[in-house]
A and B are shown apart, each in its own frame.
Chain A
Amino acid sequence: MNNGILRILFLFVLMSVTQYVHSDPKPDDAVHYRQGILMALGWNVSPMGAMVKDKVPYDAERFRFLAKRLALLAPMASEGFIESSSSAESDTRPEVWENLEDFNQRFAELEKVSSDLAAITINGEREAVVKQFIATVNVCKDCHDNYRVKR
């Protein structure tokens, strides 16, 4: 192969790679992505809630495990709220797109409270853990109240 053909091939490869990197996710994929992360957040919150409410015995180690996962997942959700998905079918209220700054601020807040929760579970007493858990779910609830479609 001569240099010219190699160059052209290289160019094509480069173009397709950059094309892949730059192409925005499809709106419905973005919706599925964020729903998946939010579902996973809820998946971890539920058993913690059961322990906090004494529905199941408090297990510090399990709580720590769940809180760690929560802190890991929390920063991932906001990525799915891309503007091209604003008209895709989801439970997102249109207000989200009008108040993106506030909306993202809430996710920043969630990131903070959940990482604090994970930190507290390492050595914290149950009481402190419960307090931080409530602070965490209140961030969830406030955002649902404002930005999630009413059921």
Chain B
Amino acid sequence: MSRTNKNSYIWDVPTRVCHWALLVLFVFSWWSGREGGMFLQYHMLSGYCILSLVLFRFFWGIFGTSSSLFSNFLFGPAEVWRYSKTIFHKNSVRYFTHNPLGGWAVIVMLVALLLQVITGLFANDDLFNEGPLYQYVSSQVSDFFTGIHEVIANFLIGLILLHILVIAFYQFWKKQHLVRAMITGYLSEVPEKSRVVPVTLWRALFFLVLSGSIVTLIVSL
């Protein structure tokens, strides 16, 4: 990890931990969901963790640090269009948070994850596993949610593959080392005003506990 003068801090610890934890949990959920049977208990636990992290990320997009704030990376259609037209240029305008397209991709991914967990709460496996809110819906509705749950799972796989492709494109074509940035927090050639000033981790912990509590409340209804 090099921390030369040229490298500046853009992703704080909570955002990075959230990102990689979501990846690990998603892979585990995907695997355990396919295995089914006894693994579904852990699949559900993993889903609760994902829901907590997604809620946390929404909080962090409002109360977090500058690069993670929705208000700093969600742009209007004009800006998105302008950026889209230059995406294949090696020297397109650089953003030191999510770019105008990537920002909306974040929202799409978070909302997809949110819907995925919500449908999972009502799902059933036709054998002996049911989501914690299964009891509140008819078995037809539960079957419907189960079907949607599988569709969104595939949609998420597609989104993640697209995400990896785009990151590779930035890495090798545009020479922007975004993977390293998401691991170490540091990116090169960041203007002073775009640097992130980390805040105390207590703030993140507070929102994490808050999110976790909300999820615990929901699943124990």
**A-chain residues with CB within 8 Å of residue B125 when the two chains form the complex:** 141
> A138 touching B37 by the CB < 8 A rule?
yes
Contact with A along B106-131 (1 / 0, CB 8 A): 00000000000000000001111100
Whether a CB of chain B sits under 8 angstroms from the CB of A22 is no
Contact with B along A16-55 (1 / 0, CB 8 A): 0000000000000000000000000010011011101100
> B143 touching A49 by the CB < 8 A rule?
no
How far apart are the CA atoms of A48 and B147 in the complex, in Å? Answer: 25
For the complex, count residues of A whose C-beta is within 8 A of B.
17
**B-chain residues with CB within 8 Å of residue A134 when the two chains form the complex:** 37-38
> B128 touching A144 by the CB < 8 A rule?
no
> B150 touching A49 by the CB < 8 A rule?
no
A9 to chain B, nearest CB (A): 51
What DSSP secondary structure best describes chain A's contact surface?
helix
How far apart are the CA atoms of A138 and B128 in the complex, in Å? Answer: 11
Q: Hey, which bits of chain B sit against chain A, CB under 8 A? A: 36-38, 41, 125-129, 143-144, 146-147, 150
Other 8 A-B pairs with CB < 8 A, given A45-B127, A148-B126? A42-B126, A49-B128, A53-B38, A134-B37, A137-B127, A151-B143, A151-B146, A151-B147
Q: Which 7 A-B pairs have the closest CB atoms?
A: A49-B128, A151-B147, A151-B143, A151-B146, A137-B127, A46-B128, A141-B36
